[in-house]
Amino acid sequence: MAVMVLYYVITALFTVILVRNFIKTRDVQKGILYLAVLMPFVLRLFRLK
Amino acid sequence: MRLNKEWTIKGIAMAVTGTILVLAGIAFAQHRNFKEEVVLGPGVTTVRTLGDYFAPLKGGPNDANVFILDSGEPGGTMLVLGASHPEEPATSLTAHLLVENATVEQGKLIVVIHSNPSASTVTRPGDAYPRFFHIETDWGIKKFRMGDRWANPLDSWPDPETYVHFPSGQLLAYMDVRNLNRTWPGRSNGSLAEQTCYAFMRLIEAEGVDIVIDLHEAELEYPIIGTIVAHQKALRIAAMASMTLTAEEFRIGMEISPLALHGLSHREIGDHSNAPALLAETPQPFLDRVRGITDESLLLTGKDEFVMKAGEFGLLYWPIDESGWPIDARVGRHCSTVLKIAEFWTLFNRSKPLVVTSVPRYADVVANGTGYFFQDPATASASKVVYE
């Protein structure tokens, strides 16, 4: 259970990093890539998939 | 100006991503939260849950309903497990049909429709699995969840690098730590699937279960198919059931549970309790890797031209033709197999008879369809409807 909570913390950390990178990048292609990568992290954080 | 253009594109991308997330999220949530309605049949005397036998499971994702059909007359006790793998729907349908129809005249029958409920709340979108399937009945369409082989990662995460089976120490694939038929006999402080198996072992002890039947389906590319796999304590019963079913109803084989293959119900339940276990397999073309379009139709009809072609090249372990392997034939096979095993249990254990009636046999299910045997929850009293 503790390991599971830790994995959710790691997932949240990756989500924050991806959102930050999306905001900061000036390259829209990279921005779209960050959003695509972000989707499974958000679905897991919201416990949907 | 350039900044505006950049954020316009980013805004559109955010809107598209958000839409995808919302639509996907709704679809996943609908499937995870859908409840199947079960009408308690005349034989059901008590409904308990797995948490009653192992408290840590109470109220959790695998607190499965346990339907007890007690005749009140002394006799043997049989446990039937449906949907150990919820991607094998003939197993949960058979268990569902037993709960809604069976009456027990001697002994006790215990039925679990979803033995690994968590695994029934997730499918494999990457393999194009449908989320639901539907069975026609005389009173309308009855809707069921399609599931997966492994417990939902939302309930059991992360997987280990390698799954070390307890207590044998045998190394198994990492995801099988969520596979109910690789985690027997389970352990109290293990993964969700291990704890679920542990709870079933406590149920077997507490209810004095004499024999266990674990229902499954298999791809035609898999050698263990159309058969009964039996622990060495149940060989006589399995052999007689196999021979008489083949002579009277349909061809079915028999396999001896390998001594060194650990984690499976037919090995571990027999080794760690007084109850011998048997595992029954039906053919399900939906699971074959060479299958074509993967949809609800394939799930229910079992018709697939690519699987048939594989059969023409001798690549299958079980025959298939234009008729496919429809769900009614698969449910019917499981019904007759359960009944036949109960008959031979009684024959070999005269002091502990188990007499189960009002369950359709193979020919009845094929002739009338599985849906014919389901009761309408809308016309049943609320106290008789249980949600799975």
Q: What pLDDT score does B18 carry?
A: 97
Does residue A19 sit at the B interface (CB-CB below 8 Å)? Answer: no
Out of A4, A35, A48, name the one closest to residue B14 (CB). Answer: A35
Residue of chain A minimizing CA distance to B190: A1
Residues of B numbered 1-20 whose beta carbons fall under 8 angstroms of chain A's beta carbons: which are they?
A: 6, 9-10, 13-14, 17, 20
Alpha-carbon distances, residue B255 vs B30, B215, B231, B280, B318 (angstroms): 40, 15, 9, 10, 15
Give residue-wise pLDDT tens across range A16-31: 999 999 999 999 999 9
The stretches in chain B having pLDDT less than 70 are 1-3
Q: Do B158 and A4 touch (CB under 8 A)?
A: yes
The terminus-to-terminus CA distance of chain A in angstroms comes to 18
Does residue B157 sit at the A interface (CB-CB below 8 Å)? Answer: yes
- Say how many CB pairs under 8 Å bridge A and B: 43
* Residue B48: φ, ψ to 5°: -115, -175
CB atoms within 10 A of CB B23: 10
Q: What is the pTM (predicted TM-score) of this model? A: 0.96
Q: Do B6 and A4 touch (CB under 8 A)?
A: no
Residue of chain B minimizing CA distance to A45: B154
CB atoms within 10 A of CB B211: 27
Chain A residues whose CB is inside 8 A of the B154 CB are 44, 47, 49
Chain B residues whose CB is inside 8 A of the A26 CB are 6
Name residue B312's beta-bridge partners.
none
Half-sphere exposure of B88 (CA within 13 A, CB side): 32
Query: What's the mean per-residue pLDDT of chain A?
Result: 96
Query: Of B359, B281, B373, B360, which is closest to residue B325 (Cα–Cα)?
Result: B281
Q: What pLDDT score does B57 carry?
A: 98
Q: Considering all CA atoms of chain A, what is the largest pairwise distance in Å, rounded to the nearest integer?
A: 40
Q: What pLDDT score does A1 carry?
A: 81
Chain A residues whose CB is inside 8 A of the B25 CB are 43, 46, 48-49
Q: Do A48 and B25 touch (CB under 8 A)?
A: yes
Q: What pLDDT score does B2 carry?
A: 67
Out of A38, A42, A48, name the one closest to residue B29 (CB). Answer: A48
Pairwise CA distance, residues A16 & A19, whole Å:
5
Out of B9, B24, B157, name the one closest to residue A4 (CB). Answer: B157
Query: Two tokens at B88?
Result: 């094998």
Q: Is B172 helix (H, G, I), strand (E, B) or coil?
A: strand
Q: How far is B64 from chain A (nearest CA, A)?
A: 20
Does residue B25 sit at the A interface (CB-CB below 8 Å)? Answer: yes
Q: Do B10 and A4 touch (CB under 8 A)?
A: no
For chain B, how many residues are written?
388
Bridging pattern class, strands B37-39 and B385-387: antiparallel
Which of A19, A28, A38, A44 to mutate to probe the B interface, most B CBs <10 Å?
A28
Query: Two tokens at B217?
Result: 């389906």
Pairwise CA distance, residues A32 & A35, whole Å:
5
